[in-house]
Amino acid sequence: MAADRPLGILMLDTRFPRIVGDIGNAQTFPFPVIYQKLEGLGPGDAVSASPDRPRIRAVLAANAKALAEKGAIGISTSCGFLALFQQALSMVSPVPVATSALMLVPLIARTLPGGRRVGVITASRENLTAAHLAAVDASRDTPVEGMPPNGSFARTFLANGTELDRDEVERETLLAGRRLMARHPDVGAVVLECTNLPPYAPALRRDLGLPVYDVTDLLRLFHAGLKRD
């Protein structure tokens, strides 16, 4: 059936565990997905304030075309920092593209009561720049909080480790949420930039008492619109 046609996901070249909820676990989604590994393009290449744009653009374009040839009806990526390439990839991809959960920021911002803003929790506060926000039409003054640069999350997902301490990463996520709220008490909803953070969204939602959105929310919406009855 057309409604069962898969979404394609461009995957960074990683070795860390992909638990349910992570974009790299097919059981995360209520629809089929096709994964395409970006050989030689790892977390360090993508999570950068100044990535090698020509190289990354070429790798994304070639692999997006490969996914479309395999039957993908739309394409996403496994790193929210690739929002930088939303426009460039859309221009060359044979099918629609949604690169990053950051695309949700301007949408969710318009749903909030007056005086409330969307905050972002990211894999790297240092490297998420105004250019990343501008690429998705998010406000330059969007509050941003990062995961700890030397914690369990960083050792697994930024350093491309092989082990995952789920409880510790959840603890770090909750602490990041609390720091975000302490610095920006006007935040009324949170978007998780990182595609490895959705497993911890329910706990963060409970802890903050706020709406929390992530890439899985974006891709459910994206795929639903691409279905052809």
What confidence score (pLDDT) does residue 51 get?
Answer: 87
Average pLDDT over residues 167-171: 99
Average pLDDT over residues 157-182: 98
Please state, for a pLDDT cut of 90, what percent of the chain lies above it: 94
What confidence score (pLDDT) does residue 2 get?
Answer: 47
Average pLDDT over residues 162-181: 99
May I ask the CATH architecture of the domain 101-214? 3-Layer(aba) Sandwich (3.40)
- 228: pLDDT strictly greater than 80: no
- 154: pLDDT strictly greater than 50: yes
What confidence score (pLDDT) does residue 157 get?
Answer: 98
**How does residue 227 score in pLDDT terms, banded at 50, 70 and 90?**
confident
Q: How far apart are CA 113 and CA 85, in angstroms?
A: 31
What confidence score (pLDDT) does residue 3 get?
Answer: 53
What confidence score (pLDDT) does residue 1 get?
Answer: 44
Average pLDDT over residues 52-71: 96
The yes-or-no answer to whether 2-99+217-226 and 101-214 have a common fold is yes
**How does residue 50 score in pLDDT terms, banded at 50, 70 and 90?**
confident
What confidence score (pLDDT) does residue 40 get?
Answer: 95
Nearest C-alpha neighbor of 80 from the set 31, 13, 10: 10
May I ask the CATH architecture of the domain 2-99+217-226? 3-Layer(aba) Sandwich (3.40)
Q: How far apart are CA 111 and CA 107, in angstroms?
A: 7
Average pLDDT over residues 178-197: 99
pLDDT tens for 102-137 read 999 999 999 999 999 999 999 999 999 999 999 999
What confidence score (pLDDT) does residue 4 get?
Answer: 79
pLDDT tens for 14-37 read 999 999 999 999 999 999 999 999
Provide, for the chain, the percentages of residues in helix, strand and coil under a 3-state DSSP scheme, each rounded to the nearest 5: 45, 15, 40
Residue in the block written with tokens 């461009």: 10
Strands (E) in 58-111, as ranges, are 75-77
**Domain positions in the chain:** 2-99+217-226, 101-214
Average pLDDT over residues 62-78: 98
Nearest C-alpha neighbor of 95 from the set 216, 228, 229, 226: 226
- 168: pLDDT strictly greater than 50: yes
